[in-house]
Amino acid sequence: MAAKVSTKLMRVLKHDDAKFREEWQAVCDRRDDSVLDVEQDVAKIIATVRKGGDEALLQCIQKYDGPDLTAVEVTPEEWDEGCDRVDSADRAAIGKAAMRVREFHRKRIPSSWEMREEGGGYMGQRVRPLARVGIYVPGGKAVYPSSVVMNAIPASVVEVPEIVMATPPEEDGSIRPEVLMAARVAGVHRVFKMGGAHAVAALAYGTESVPRVDKITGPGSVWVATAKKQVFGQVGIDSEAGPTEVCIVADRSATPAWIAADLISQAEHEELAQAVLITHVKGLAARVQEQITRQLKTLDRAAIAKKSLKARGALVQTKSLEQSIQLSEEYAAEHLVLAVEEPEQISKEIQNAGAIFMGHYTPVAVGDYMAGPSHVLPTGGTSRFFSPLSVDDFLKRTSFMKFEPPKLRELGADIVRLANVEGFTGHGTSVELRLAKIRRARREREAARDLEL
């Protein structure tokens, strides 16, 4: 009976069914159509804050976040008081996570470089941190000190001069103490009590109180994601983050209870989260379903997880492990769990995944909180072309080059030829005029040498 009830919770897709490809495509196509519903409203909010500054921002905070504030920035006294209220064990855990994330990102920081060529060619790249970045930390249904750590520390590692953070306030106008503690250990310089599209607008365009930033990173609601998309171009963004997701590939060595817990751990985030199991092992899907039903009975966020699993979850039955891996590549997961006997070898074949969790003792929670790599990952299949948040997101590169006359003489004719091929004769002329001077100077030197002889 339990298996029958749980089967109704999550849909089951079988690779040999006639409609499998159609059903599988529906799983892979996890676009959130609600984005279309809020685009106009988001555009109005952005325009209002951009024009009205602090006054409009405070009105939006009262309307959308709840509290009636007179000032938007967390004061030093509020910050200190919040940190003092954090339990000592929680403080230690946040500090340990921050230390490990910082250590991971310090391993490979891109540096400036240059090269010199014979004949006077000099070129390279200068790598510098962005001047000011904005970190968005979601609130609402949960508290996310881990998002502070994962977003801010890569910026801190490359010494961004000013890191500002926006996060929705509580109903009393405060910020959760754990979030303030995480901001302190992660290197955040200023914290602002604002969430949603109005927070993104304030960061993108600035107000009397909120400084304009160069880039905004961090996940959020559909309102936040839509706002980031709309201000892109005026300000940089990390990516268009969507609902969280996990894809688990399992073989006979997997434990059904653990797989169920991993699926639930993503589904409990929000109703739009997606959890997918792909396995060639007969009977594993049914056993996982039974465990899901059992574990949901004691889950604090069971209502959210049930909606997610029923509406967007899927259990996929394949014929082989190779087939399971191929489907995972098509899915291009944010979190890919390899619950298999030889995860390291299989992981080398994976092209499309934001983060890979190898083996039976590496649940997604390890990466969410303590491993070290950022948990800000590409969602919705964008791991085919996007990467996890890293120090690279907080750096900019400037190319530089210098040609001395001998080098321009060496390459100038080819530059002119390529310019003419493209129809840009003005480009060619800019080189030809310089080549003419180089040739004159050379003739003059030769003439002077002949006179000396």
- State the pLDDT confidence band at 34, using cuts at 50, 70 and 90: low
pLDDT, mean over the chain: 93
Return the pLDDT at 2: 36
Question: Is 15 one of the annotated active-site residues of the chain?
Answer: no
Question: What is the distance between the alpha carbons of residues 376 and 357, in angstroms, rounded to a whole number?
Answer: 15
pLDDT, average across residues 321-326: 97
Question: What is the distance between the alpha carbons of residues 395 and 270, in angstroms, rounded to a whole number?
Answer: 32
Burial status of residue 69 (CB atoms within 10 A of its CB: 0-12, 13-18, 19 or more): middle
Q: Where are the beta strands (DSSP E) in 189-268?
A: 190-193, 215-217, 236-237, 245-250
| Catalytic residue of the set 198, 269, 280, 335 | 335
H helix intervals, 1-125? 2-9, 20-28, 34-60, 76-84, 88-106
Q: What angle do CA 275, 232, 180 make, to 5 degrees?
A: 65
Question: Residue 267 in contact with residue 314, Cβ under 8 Å?
Answer: no
Q: What is the CATH number of domain 2-32+242-372?
A: 3.40.50.1980
Return the pLDDT at 8: 64
Place of tokens 């009393």: 172
- State the pLDDT confidence band at 33, using cuts at 50, 70 and 90: low
Q: Which residue has the higher pLDDT, 2 or 148?
A: 148
Return the pLDDT at 451: 81
- State the pLDDT confidence band at 1, using cuts at 50, 70 and 90: very low
pLDDT of 35 over the 80 cut: no
Sequence-distant (≥ 6) Cβ neighbours of residue 20 within 8 angstroms: 13, 14
Fold classification of 34-241+392-397 (topology level): Rossmann fold (3.40.50)
Quick: pLDDT tens for 48-78: 999 999 999 999 999 999 999 999 999 999 9
Return the pLDDT at 201: 98
Quick: pLDDT tens for 334-391: 999 999 999 999 999 999 999 999 999 999 999 999 999 999 999 999 999 999 999 9
- State the pLDDT confidence band at 6, using cuts at 50, 70 and 90: very low
pLDDT of 299 over the 90 cut: yes
Question: What is the distance between the alpha carbons of residues 226 and 223, in angstroms, rounded to a whole number?
Answer: 5
R_g over Cα of the chain = 28
This prediction has a pTM of 0.90
Long-range pairs of 360-366 with CB within 8 A, sequence gap ≥ 24: 360/253, 360/254, 360/255, 360/258, 362/337, 363/258, 363/261, 363/262, 363/265, 363/337, 364/246, 364/262, 364/265, 364/266, 364/335, 364/337, 365/265
Quick: pLDDT tens for 105-137: 999 899 999 999 999 999 999 999 999 999 999
pLDDT, average across residues 21-35: 82
DSSP three-state, residue 131: coil
Question: What is the distance between the alpha carbons of residues 260 and 300, in angstroms, rounded to a whole number?
Answer: 16
Question: Is 290 one of the annotated active-site residues of the chain?
Answer: no
Q: Note whether 2-32+242-372 and 34-241+392-397 share their fold.
A: yes
| Catalytic residue of the set 245, 280, 334, 375 | 334
Domain extent listing, the chain: 2-32+242-372, 34-241+392-397, 404-452
pLDDT of 32 over the 90 cut: no
